[in-house]
Amino acid sequence: MDKMVIHGGVSLTGTVEVSGAKNAVLPILAATLLAEGEHTFHNVPRLVDIRTISRLLGRMGVECQAGEPFRVRVGTLKGHEAAYELVKTMRAAVLVLGPLVARAGRARVSLPGGCAIGSRPIDQHLKGLERLGATIRIHRGYVEASSPRLRGARISFDISTVTGTENLMMAAALARGTTVLENAACEPEVEELGEALNKMGARILGAGTPVVTIEGVEGLHGVEHTIMPDRIESGTFMVAAGLTRGDILIRRCRLAHLGAVVTKLREAGLEIAPEGDAVRVRGPERIRSVDIKTLPYPGFPTDMQAQAMVLMALADGTSVISETVFENRFMHVSELRRMGADIRIEGPNAVVKGVPRLEGAPLMASDLRASASLVLAGLAAEGTTEVSRIYHLDRGYEGMEKKLQKLGAQIERVRE
């Protein structure tokens, strides 16, 4: 098992390029189940989660060839099951449920796992599939769904759900008739999936808005598509610049996808400005405290909450960070306290009183974004920080230590 060893206190400077978005490519790869033929994708990041979904698709007879470009060949499906051993490590594996039912007429998918950041039920997925005509039952930890041919329906989500919206968009693409999804998730990754599906021959309007209309078609075909840059990775490097009083040019960064993050970081004192096809971020001499509340897009993303908390831990004054999306996403707090952070948890709120400095310490990561936050804290801390269990980090960040090294960070991956 690997760990990160970080010698903090270095101001990060230079240029970094953002990789493709994990949360965009995973549903798009799942969508290839809908369409026989060859699919070609550019800018697919080299991540553990990509290898996991490739293995999952392989068990269904789909051939995935990693590289640039990333190629997927789909023929007759040879399986319809997503086993526990794979789904337990990556919640996004549930995204094969809709495509399998739509194309193969049946699916057996393990109830999902992934990061331990709170309850993330899939009841909205299942209710939606039932509205589309699928028969659903839960048996021994698996969702078993079947339908000879799905039919269009009007579906209103009780809560905004990204993977639920994506699953039902894919299922409805081959359904008979028209489907309308109300209170749909508006994240850019949902819009990206809609764009890729339309290139495959689907008829989808409104992806990325609260109302999505899908007119079912008889069949889809192969596609060539370039994956959007990862907005959370972009935000993470912005925070790195702020924490280290750095000056970082971030290439392939879409500011339009980071509105709420940019607003809060500017309030905290960071300078953020477009520069050609990139974004330059400069950190302030002293960070200002700001209050943050996570919300579904276009609000402040929960996937940036842990990183922002590190920034506030070194800010002048006291800030309140409210987590409204996942109820168990403060597990990094105890580790930050070990470094000298002054953080108090009050229900869904973290009260963060800024301190003059953090001190390096041995730390243990609990989930993907917590891993990133602990690495950021190590970059800003005095002395040496060791972050264990970084396999979480490898699920969502491509070569993070190598990118940081190019910015001047003293960080290395070592075998424990």
**Which tens digit of pLDDT belongs to each residue from 63-97?**
999 999 999 999 999 999 998 888 888 888 899 99
Of the pLDDT bands very low, low, confident and very high (cuts 50, 70, 90), residue 326 is confident
3-state helix, strand, coil in the chain (%, to 5): 35, 30, 40
Q: Which two tokens stand for residue 322?
A: 């409210």
CATH architecture of 2-16+229-415: Alpha-beta prism (3.65)
Q: How far apart are CA 397 and CA 51, in angstroms?
A: 13
What's the residue count for the chain?
416
Specify the CATH number of the domain 26-226. 3.65.10.10
If you average pLDDT over every residue of the chain, what do you get? 95
Q: Which residue has better confidence, 110 or 166?
A: 166
Which positions are annotated as active-site residues? 115
pLDDT number for residue 118: 42
Whether 117 has a pLDDT exceeding 50, the answer reads no
Predicted confidence (pLDDT) at residue 199 exceeds the cutoff of 70: yes
Average pLDDT over residues 178-190: 98
238 versus 117: the higher-pLDDT residue is: 238
Between 3-17, 30-44, 102-116, the lowest mean confidence (pLDDT) is in 102-116
Q: What is the pLDDT of residue 329?
A: 78
Query: Above 70 in pLDDT, residue 381?
Result: yes
Higher pLDDT, 391 or 233: 233
Q: Do domains 2-16+229-415 and 26-226 have the same CATH topology?
A: yes
Is residue 1 within 8 A of residue 410, CB to CB? The reply is no
- Cα–Cα distance between 189 and 25 in angstroms, integer? 8
Q: What are the extents of the domains in the chain?
A: 2-16+229-415, 26-226
Q: Is the pLDDT assigned to residue 114 strictly greater than 50?
A: no
Q: Please give the Cα distance from 170 to 202 (Å, whole number).
A: 9
Tell me the mean pLDDT in the region 32-61: 97
Does the pLDDT at position 400 exceed 90?
yes
| CA dist., res. 172 & res. 151, Å (int) | 8
Percent of the chain surpassing pLDDT 70: 98
Q: What is the pTM of this model?
A: 0.95
Lowest mean pLDDT among 188-197, 237-246, 365-374, 377-386: 365-374
CA 368 – CA 326 distance, rounded (Å): 14
**Tens digits of per-residue pLDDT, 262-302?**
999 999 999 999 998 899 999 999 999 999 999 999 999 99
120-156 confidence digits (pLDDT tens): 578 999 999 999 999 999 998 899 999 999 999 999 9
- Find the helix packing angle between 368-380 and 231-243, rounded to 10°: 20
Q: What phi, psi does 321 have (nearest 5°)?
A: -110, 120
Q: How far apart are CA 258 and CA 255, in angstroms?
A: 5
Angle at 133 between CA 131 and CA 139, to 5 degrees: 95
CA dihedral 320, 292, 337, 271 (to 10 degrees): -120
Q: What are phi and psi of 190, to 5 degrees?
A: -70, -45
Determine the pLDDT at residue 115.
41
**Residue 113 has what pLDDT?**
53
Q: Nearest 5°: phi and psi at 368?
A: -60, -55
